[in-house]
């Protein structure tokens, strides 16, 4: 007896916080407008004041705007039904964009770091007051953008990622404001490239995080926090399960884990009940609602020449997990 069962459980992925998808898009659009408008003005002031710190903040805000635009795009793409050869739809467009965003942050960080070091060695004249005033205004804008994003559904990893970008930028503006204050009160212009290096460190940290997270999804790694051997042992401990093999757990896109496995059930036991028990366990303990389970009775299936003590499949992938009792 063999069953291939795929559960979609759309309601598990709905919004449970009382905010609609349209409302999420509106709040994201508000944050994007705040960030984009201020960023344009900051570039102009940074050039006039000859402040690398302000220009680096503007570059960081550009990545913020990209992260928010990505969240908006991902919401639209995720709503499109799969068709043609794209059987999962276009959900991984989010991951492609996240990786491009991370690589861009790393490249910008490297360029700004080189220029900051050059300015540390040969400090130019920087007008401190515009830097201080603009940075303080930037703190206010980022607080407003963070408030707008907090009104959206932060259970969505897209929204949460954009929110974390804004929080990082808030710290960068605080560093720039401190540099502006130092320049106004002491005339120490090297405070500007020092603040730039603080911003660069934040950009590199965020960029590496994006590249690492997107790379794990592209390489079909298990979601963070899920240990496949421990999961396999847990499934093998479900009553009436004899063995679990061909266990694969990955992410379709961020926040959407999926699992497939071949489960052998003790002869004479109810395959349907075992499958339902495993699906319930996956939902409750691992938040996995997309599962494809092949459930067979242990023994010698048709077309196989193996016994219960040997691998059940001709070409089994990965470790096998057996019931301990």
For the stretch 191-250, pLDDT in tens is 888 888 988 888 888 889 888 988 999 999 999 889 999 999 999 999 999 999 999 999
Q: Which residues lie closer than 8 Å to 58 by C-beta, 6 or more apart?
A: 39, 42, 43, 46
Nearest to 75 by CA among 169, 161, 168, 7: 161
Cβ-based neighbours of 257, under 8 Å, separated by 6 or more: 223, 226, 249, 250, 251, 286, 287, 288, 290
Choice between 139 and 15, residue whose per-residue pLDDT is larger: 139
Pick the more confident residue, 144 or 311. 144
| Pairing relationship of beta strands 290-297 and 256-265 according to DSSP bridges | parallel
Rounded-to-integer distance, Cα 51 and Cα 140, Å: 20
Q: Give the tens place of pLDDT for each residue, 124-147.
A: 777 788 888 988 998 999 899 989
Helix axes 228-236, 271-286, angle to 10 degrees: 140
Q: Which range, 4-13, 26-35, 96-105, 311-320, has the best average confidence (pLDDT)?
A: 26-35
Q: What is the pLDDT of residues 270-287, one digit of tens each?
A: 999 999 999 999 999 999
250 versus 56: which is more confidently predicted? 250
Confidence tier at 158 by pLDDT (50, 70, 90) = low
Assess whether pLDDT exceeds 60 at residue 19.
Answer: no
Q: How far apart are CA 156 and CA 161, in angstroms?
A: 9
Name the average pLDDT for the chain.
81
Domain 223-322: assigned CATH number: 3.30.300.30
Interval 50-65 mean pLDDT: 80
Hey, how many other C-beta atoms are within 10 angstroms of the C-beta on 48?
11
pLDDT in the model for residue 198: 86
pLDDT attached to residue 57: 76
**Could you tell me the fold of the domain covering 15-218?**
Alpha-lytic protease prodomain-like (1.20.1510)
| pLDDT above 70 coverage of the chain, percent | 85
pLDDT band at 122 (very low <50, low <70, confident <90, very high): confident
pTM check: above 0.85: no
Which token pair is 104?
Answer: 């861009």
Over residues 147-161, mean pLDDT: 73
Decide if pLDDT at 305 tops 50: no
Strands 3-6 and 290-297: antiparallel
Query: In this predicted model, what pLDDT tens digit does every residue of 27-39 receive, in sequence order?
Result: 888 888 998 888 8
Specify the pLDDT at position 265. 94
pLDDT confidence of residue 316: 64
Domain ranges of the chain: 15-218, 223-322
Range of 52-61, 80-89, 140-149, 151-160 with top mean pLDDT: 140-149
Whole-number pLDDT of residue 63: 75
Using pLDDT thresholds of 50, 70 and 90, give the confidence band for residue 5: very low
For residue 187, what pLDDT band results from cuts at 50, 70 and 90? Answer: confident
Residue with tokens 């990786």: 99
Arithmetic mean of pLDDT, 34-48 = 87
Residues 6+ apart with CB under 8 A from 258: 249, 250, 251, 252, 288, 290, 291, 292
Of 54, 88, 90, nearest to 70 (Cα)? 90
């Amino acid at each position: 007896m063999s069953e291939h069962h795929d559960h979609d459980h759309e309601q598990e992925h709905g919004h449970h916080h009382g905010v609609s998808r349209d409302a999420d898009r509106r709040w994201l659009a508000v944050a994007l407008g705040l960030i984009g408008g201020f960023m344009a003005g900051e570039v102009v002031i940074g050039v006039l004041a000859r402040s690398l710190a302000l220009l680096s903040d503007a570059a960081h805000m550009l990545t913020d705007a990209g992260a928010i635009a990505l969240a908006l795009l991902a919401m639209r793409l995720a709503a499109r039904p799969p068709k043609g050869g794209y059987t999962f739809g276009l959900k991984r467009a989010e991951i492609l964009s996240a990786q491009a965003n991370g690589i861009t942050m790393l490249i910008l960080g490297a360029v700004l770091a080189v220029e900051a070091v050059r300015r540390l060695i040969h400090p130019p004249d920087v007008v401190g007051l515009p830097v201080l005033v603009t940075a303080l205004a930037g703190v206010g804008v980022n607080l407003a953008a963070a408030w707008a994003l907090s009104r959206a559904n932060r259970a969505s990893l897209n929204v949460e990622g954009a929110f974390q970008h804004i929080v990082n930028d808030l710290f960068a503006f605080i560093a720039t404001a401190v540099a502006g204050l130092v320049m106004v009160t002491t005339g120490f212009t090297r405070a500007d490239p020092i603040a730039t290096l603080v911003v660069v460190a934040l950009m590199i940290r965020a960029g590496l995080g994006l590249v690492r997270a997107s790379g794990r999804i592209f390489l079909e790694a298990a979601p963070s926090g899920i240990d496949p051997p421990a999961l396999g042992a847990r499934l093998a401990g479900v009553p009436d399960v004899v063995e679990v093999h061909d266990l694969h757990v990955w992410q379709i896109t961020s926040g959407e884990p999926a699992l497939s496995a071949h489960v052998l059930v003790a002869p004479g036991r109810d395959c349907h009940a075992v499958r339902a028990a495993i699906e319930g366990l996956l939902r409750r303990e691992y938040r996995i609602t997309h599962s494809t389970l092949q459930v067979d009775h242990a023994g010698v299936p048709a077309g196989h020449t193996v016994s219960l003590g040997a691998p059940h499949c001709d070409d089994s992938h990965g470790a096998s997990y057996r019931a301990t009792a």
